[in-house]
A and B are shown apart, each in its own frame.
Chain A
Amino acid sequence: MDKLLEVNGLTKQFSQGFVIGRVILTAVERISFFIKPAEIFTLAGESGCGKTTTAKVVLGFEEATSGEILHNGKPQTRKEKVWITQGVQAIFQDPFCTFNPLRTVDSYFYETVRNYRLANSKKEAMDWIDRKLRLVGLTHQEFAGKYPSEFSGGQLQRISIARALLTDPKLIIADEPVSMVDASLRMSIVNLFKQLKDELGVSILYITHDLATAYYVSDRIAIMFRGNIVEMGAVEQVLMKPRHPYSKLLRDSIPQADPKKRWTTSIRLSELEEEEYLRQGCKFAGRCPDVMDACKSVVPKDLYFEDALVKCHKYSGN
């Protein structure tokens, strides 16, 4: 099997309100993607686009409304959760919230080793932990017996990566792993992902709103907008030659670290998020510069180009 993780037609709906005035919000709408072994796949988009919901469903924290999730070609069910968590580990956004401030950080490591029966003795457990810590550039002495408050954010994020590596996972789901880390230390985390992919063959589902690091680190990328994947393909294609107007807007909004390349055009922002979610047809129609009549009523189909998928009426004509 060539696909480590496959998501087919995943839909997740949340309902708001009670009986009267009940609104159903579709957070994720029939999205499909797959991840190959030793690949970094990015889900990018703004907040409220459904990328974190997707991660939660894949991790089994939320039940999908419809659609299927296959790990190595086998469907994900509740029974097989242990098998899945051993192969799929997660890294979260805020490293200070990942660990309980009143517990030492290493206790999490010993707990994971015990839960998955990774070692037979204390000595073996220590060696195992030390080996994983070295992968992220830390040593056992540096962290033994310390509390989360004694580390910096960047260090703590490395530690949570080391913890995720304990079970030798095939796939790491990283939900905004660098957004809380200082810009100057961000690259060290992103470089670490590259290194894990190259040296250990770990695949990473990298969820981010930061397209610059996404371009730097990933192989393929999917741009999400209000629950839909609007464009998906190789990162060079999608970010350098975007086809969907939203991908273009997103790419052009990255602030360039060059005062000569300041923005010259002005943009329009959405007024209410809910309005966009409930919109018929293409969700981006409200602020799309190339909007047509069809966009407002008909949901665009997924169009396959040789190297990318685009969900836009602009390209459906021919």
Chain B
Amino acid sequence: MEEKKNPILRTDQLQTFYVLDMQGTQKIIKAVNDVNLNIYENEIYGIAGESGCGKTTLLKALFADIVPPLRLIGGKVYYRVNGKDEIEATALSAEEKRKLRLEFISNVPQGCMSVLNPVLKVKETYKDFIASHVREQSRREEIFDRAHKQILEFGLPKNVLDVYPHQLSGGMRQRVTVALAALMKPRIMIGDEPTTALDVVVQRGVIQMLKEIQKKLKNTIVIVSHDMGVQANIADRIGIMYAGKIVEESTAERIFDRPLHPYTQFLIHSLPKLGDKTIRGSVPGSPPSLADLPDGCPFHPRCPKVMEICRRQMPDFSYPDENHKVACWLMEEGKHGQAA
């Protein structure tokens, strides 16, 4: 835990909104609203939440990929490259960002169907990726050789480079994209729902692979998934996101053992389990529109324990434990407890 002091990826009151200009009237979608994250080296950080809570936008911001209509309204994203001083990722030029990508930070995309070029063999895609980062021909070949070895290490068949993407099954294709993202041994890998479209058995294979890579490279993986089962299996620390804000953050064990925010409690207790047929409710209502957030705590219209103050004011974080933070008025009142 000694590296805890120096986060490799940090955001400081990050606010990124989609600003849409619709015939004179502005529509502002508050996708990421005041998010402070500290992500350390050698950990897997999970971000969980319903669709439309801003998880994907947060990842875009972490990747410093903020293009209109998405705009950086406030706050900063910092990277710590090579363990030295922090650099402000959001202030880098396009060329500097391009250099950092794949070598320092890489992205594991969701839709594995549309990621690989369908008319090129997988190895051509690999060569493209290498060529965009390595100038010298000899080094390119060296890295391509490494790619061959790496593919075998990850348990993929060796002929995978010589086929077209459509010849691979969905799970194999997803694992090729994961291998591709890990090619230059990046310090941070960011995955946006990397297992969502997959079957359970294949999903297990991809999670297994991500964990192996992390163990081997000792790097950081940030993984977004709405599936709490996936999060429980992969993440070391989990942040729960709701309506553009992180509402609870802790280690995976604590989140599942003792969720404090009513929303987290719902997320975990609404999951059906094998061998348990008791009636389970779902979170009542539906997530709020990010363009029209309710006052106060954004969860208050759906919260079963809503109080007067929740309707007026957003709670600050309270720290029931060193590694645990939660934004809920129940904590202030000392009335927290398990789900009803």
Q: Is the CB of B267 within 8 A of A183?
A: yes
B275 proximity list for chain A (CB < 8 A): 215, 239-240
Q: Is the CB of B200 within 8 A of A239?
A: no
If A212-B273, A215-B274 touch, whether A273 touches B169 (CB-CB below 8 Å) is yes
Q: Is the CB of B283 within 8 A of A255?
A: no
Q: Is the CB of A257 within 8 A of B256?
A: yes
Q: Is the CB of B51 within 8 A of A257?
A: no
B8 CB, min distance to chain A CBs, angstroms: 23
B339 CB, min distance to chain A CBs, angstroms: 13
Interface string of A248-261 (1 = CB under 8 A from B): 01110111111111
Stretch at the interface among A25-33, A100-108, A185-193: A185-193
Q: Is the CB of B200 within 8 A of A46?
A: yes
If A46-B199, A262-B233 touch, whether A185 touches B283 (CB-CB below 8 Å) is yes
A142 proximity list for chain B (CB < 8 A): none
Which of A239, A255, A262, A272 contacts B227 (CB under 8 A)?
A255
Which of B167, B202, B229, B286 contacts A269 (CB under 8 A)?
B202
If A216-B280, A269-B172 touch, whether A182 touches B50 (CB-CB below 8 Å) is yes
If A211-B274, A239-B274 touch, whether A258 touches B232 (CB-CB below 8 Å) is yes
CB of B90 within 8 Å of the partner chain: no
Give chain A interface residues in 222-266, CB to chain B under 8 Å.
239-240, 249-251, 253-263, 266
B201 CB, min distance to chain A CBs, angstroms: 5
- Count of interface residues, chain A, beta-carbon cutoff 8 Å: 45
CB of B42 within 8 Å of the partner chain: no
Which of B204, B272, B287 contacts A212 (CB under 8 A)?
B272
CB of B153 within 8 Å of the partner chain: no
Interface string of B257-292 (1 = CB under 8 A from A): 000000000111011111111011111001100000
CB of A184 within 8 Å of the partner chain: yes
Which of B157, B203, B274, B282 contacts A240 (CB under 8 A)?
B274
The complex places the Cα of A155 from the Cα of B169 at a distance, in Å, of 33
Which of B205, B229, B283 contacts A254 (CB under 8 A)?
B229
Q: Is the CB of B267 within 8 A of A253?
A: no
CB of A16 within 8 Å of the partner chain: no
CB of A199 within 8 Å of the partner chain: no
A184 proximity list for chain B (CB < 8 A): 50, 226, 266-267, 270, 282-283
B51 proximity list for chain A (CB < 8 A): 153, 182
- Count of interface residues, chain B, beta-carbon cutoff 8 Å: 46
Q: Is the CB of B274 within 8 A of A254?
A: yes
CB of B221 within 8 Å of the partner chain: no
B274 proximity list for chain A (CB < 8 A): 211-212, 215, 239-240, 251, 254
A262 proximity list for chain B (CB < 8 A): 232-233
A126 CB, min distance to chain B CBs, angstroms: 25
CB of A19 within 8 Å of the partner chain: no
B171 proximity list for chain A (CB < 8 A): 269
CB of B230 within 8 Å of the partner chain: yes
Q: Is the CB of A266 within 8 A of B208?
A: yes
B7 CB, min distance to chain A CBs, angstroms: 22
CB of B252 within 8 Å of the partner chain: yes
A55 CB, min distance to chain B CBs, angstroms: 17
Q: Is the CB of B286 within 8 A of A155?
A: yes
B272 CB, min distance to chain A CBs, angstroms: 4
Give chain B interface residues in 209-242, CB to chain A under 8 Å.
226-230, 232-233
Q: Is the CB of B204 within 8 A of A183?
A: no
A212 CB, min distance to chain B CBs, angstroms: 4
CB of A87 within 8 Å of the partner chain: no
Q: Is the CB of A154 within 8 A of B286?
A: yes
Which of A154, A155, A255 contacts B233 (CB under 8 A)?
A255
Q: Is the CB of A267 within 8 A of B233?
A: no
Q: Is the CB of B199 within 8 A of A216?
A: no
The complex places the Cα of A267 from the Cα of B202 at a distance, in Å, of 9
The complex places the Cα of A68 from the Cα of B256 at a distance, in Å, of 49
A250 proximity list for chain B (CB < 8 A): 200-201
B229 proximity list for chain A (CB < 8 A): 212, 254-257
Q: Is the CB of A183 within 8 A of B201?
A: no
A181 CB, min distance to chain B CBs, angstroms: 9
B279 proximity list for chain A (CB < 8 A): 191
Q: Is the CB of B200 within 8 A of A271?
A: no
CB of A152 within 8 Å of the partner chain: yes
A209 proximity list for chain B (CB < 8 A): 199-200
- In chain A, what residue has the closest Cβ to B160? A271
A interface with B by C-beta (< 8 Å): 46-47, 152-155, 182-188, 190-191, 209-213, 215-216, 239-240, 249-251, 253-263, 266-267, 269-273
Q: List 24 A-B contacts (CB under 8 A).
A: A46-B200, A46-B201, A155-B286, A182-B51, A185-B283, A185-B286, A187-B280, A187-B282, A188-B281, A191-B279, A209-B199, A215-B274, A215-B275, A239-B275, A255-B229, A256-B273, A258-B256, A259-B232, A259-B253, A260-B253, A263-B208, A267-B201, A270-B169, A271-B157
- Given A190-B272, A209-B200, A256-B273, 16 new contacts (CB under 8 A): A152-B286, A182-B51, A183-B50, A183-B226, A212-B273, A239-B274, A249-B201, A253-B201, A256-B229, A257-B268, A257-B273, A258-B256, A267-B201, A271-B157, A271-B172, A273-B169
B interface with A by C-beta (< 8 Å): 50-51, 157, 167-172, 199-205, 207-208, 226-230, 232-233, 252-253, 256, 266-268, 270-277, 279-283, 286-287
Q: A-B pairs with the 6 shortest C-beta distances? A: A255-B229, A187-B282, A46-B199, A216-B272, A259-B252, A188-B282
